[in-house]
Amino acid sequence: MDQCLGDTTPDEVLIPMQTDGSFLMSDDRVREPLLAASKRAMNTTSQTAIYLGTKRCTIESLDYEYHAAFVAYVGCNLLLATVAAALCAYITFDRQLLALAYQVKAYLNGVDSHSILAPSTLLVKIFGSIFGVSAGFVLGKEGPMVHTGACVASLLSQGTILGPISDLDPAIFALLGAASLLGGTMRMTVSVCVILLELTDDLLMLPLVMLVLLISKSVADNFNIGVYDLMIQMKGLPYLEAHAEPYMRHLVAHDVVSGPLLTFFGVEKVGNIIQILKTTGHHGFPVINEPPFSEAPELCGLVLRSHLIVLLKGKRFTKDKVLTGSTEVFKSFGSFDFAKAGPGKGMKLEELEISADEMEMYVDLHPITNKSPYTVVETMSLAKAALLFRELGLRHLFVVPKTPGKPPVVGILTRPDFMREHILGLFPHFNQRKKMNEEQT
């Protein structure tokens, strides 16, 4: 801990800042915190470093912790998989159950199969699925739900609860139980109804299946959301609902803008572009025109990250800050160079080879700038902005000031800015008000 480096590093990062807190690229620079700059340095040794104030200090290797964590992870998975296998092998081992999904489909179609709905099978199905999924096995979602629902309904029909008061065939109970669990967990009413109708090939069962699906979905909606919606939340995917949330009507677009805002000038220095692309993961940036290219700072448009990388690879740079025009720029590119590449096929920033002299040169961004981006006024209702964003399938929505004298762009709205977690994190009193209304009702 006593081997500390200096207070600064050779690769200091400089990011521009305006007086209002937004960030703009210009030749006037301010220092970026050393911690953020040092995180980008490639660590080619097994040593790690901690940061105290403005000093970076190396500490001993932590490789043994990674090895121990890997061994613990593998050991836990093997243990869970062994328990799941033991349940299947010693409690309900049956050669017919090796193709259990097909046996369930056959049973729902009227073909009997030994012990497929027995209590021991239900026990193994529930705990075996829990241990199997925890061990990393891919078991699917529909198959376990169909089998579990059929087992539970079959047991109810043969027991003391529903047996004395009903003369229905246990197979019908199994079918309706499978439909009930599918409707309650996945909330797929129409598709489940069609699937079960195809399995049974009995049109007379359709009214009962529809009634069961309606009841199961209505009851489940009072407790939580569907399993697919839960998976979207667990994975952190920014899924936008078809309707705006009620609290959005009390907010405007400016309220949820997150910063700092990074922008480029119409003719920008190559080093500034490289630095911003390295330090951020944004996919789009506003382009601002400034004097002498305009009388006052004004919004020129939107430039994409992928287009910037292609432009930098072409190296149509100039020593002076001048406009080059579209004709000169596109002489170095083909017709499909700026087309959207497939997943994993786009050009990477690490593939660029820019010399130190080229970092001090300039490049004209006007030829690759989208000069007609979608914009909303900062006082526009957030609910209207959310509907506009979703209906048009946008990725970036500019928020512009309502009155003159401000920067030409207030911020950019993307999908995460419309997420419930982001908005309620900024305004937690909306969540508290919703809980109070639920308690009163």
User: Residue 83 domain-assigned?
Assistant: no
* Domain-ending residue, one of 370, 405, 427: 370
Per-residue pLDDT tens over the stretch 26-74: 444 333 433 334 344 444 333 334 333 444 444 444 555 778 888 888 8
Tell me how long the chain is: 441
Ramachandran class of 301: left when φ > 0, alpha when ψ lies in -120 to 50, beta otherwise:
left
User: Do 128 and 201 share a domain, yes or no?
Assistant: yes
What are the angstrom distances between the C-alpha of 105 and each of 44, 155, 358?
55, 18, 67
User: Residue 9 domain-assigned?
Assistant: no
User: Do 310 and 191 share a domain, yes or no?
Assistant: no
User: Do 226 and 289 share a domain, yes or no?
Assistant: no
User: Do 120 and 226 share a domain, yes or no?
Assistant: yes
User: Do 229 and 100 share a domain, yes or no?
Assistant: yes
User: Do 270 and 299 share a domain, yes or no?
Assistant: yes
CATH number at residue 294: 3.10.580
User: Do 194 and 335 share a domain, yes or no?
Assistant: no
Report how far residue 218's alpha carbon sits from residue 138's, in angstroms, rounded to the nearest whole number. Answer: 29
User: Do 282 and 345 share a domain, yes or no?
Assistant: yes
User: Residue 214 domain-assigned?
Assistant: yes
Q: In the prediction, which pLDDT does 414 show?
A: 93
User: Residue 177 domain-assigned?
Assistant: yes
Per-residue pLDDT tens over the stretch 307-319: 999 999 888 899 9
User: Residue 323 domain-assigned?
Assistant: yes
Q: How many structural domains comprise the chain?
A: 4
> pTM for the complete prediction?
0.65
Residue stretches of the chain with pLDDT short of 70: 1-64, 92-114, 159-168, 335, 344, 432-441
User: Do 403 and 342 share a domain, yes or no?
Assistant: no
What is the extent of the structural domain holding 398? Answer: 242-257+378-441
What is the DSSP secondary-structure string of 345-383? Answer: TSPPGGG----HHHHTSEEE-GGG-BSS--EEETTSBHH
Q: In the prediction, which pLDDT does 342 show?
A: 72
Report how far residue 424's alpha carbon sits from residue 439's, in angstroms, rounded to the nearest whole number. Answer: 19
User: Residue 249 domain-assigned?
Assistant: yes
User: Residue 78 domain-assigned?
Assistant: no
User: Do 282 and 293 share a domain, yes or no?
Assistant: yes
What are the angstrom distances between the C-alpha of 2 and each of 5, 35, 54, 56?
10, 19, 14, 10
Report how far residue 101's alpha carbon sits from residue 322's, in angstroms, rounded to the nearest whole number. Answer: 68
User: Do 286 and 246 share a domain, yes or no?
Assistant: no
Residues 6 or more apart whose CB falls under 8 angstroms from that of 237 comprise none
Q: In the prediction, which pLDDT does 46 show?
A: 36
User: Do 217 and 250 share a domain, yes or no?
Assistant: no
Q: In the prediction, which pLDDT does 125 show?
A: 82
What are the angstrom distances between the C-alpha of 340 and each of 58, 178, 337, 371?
43, 44, 8, 18
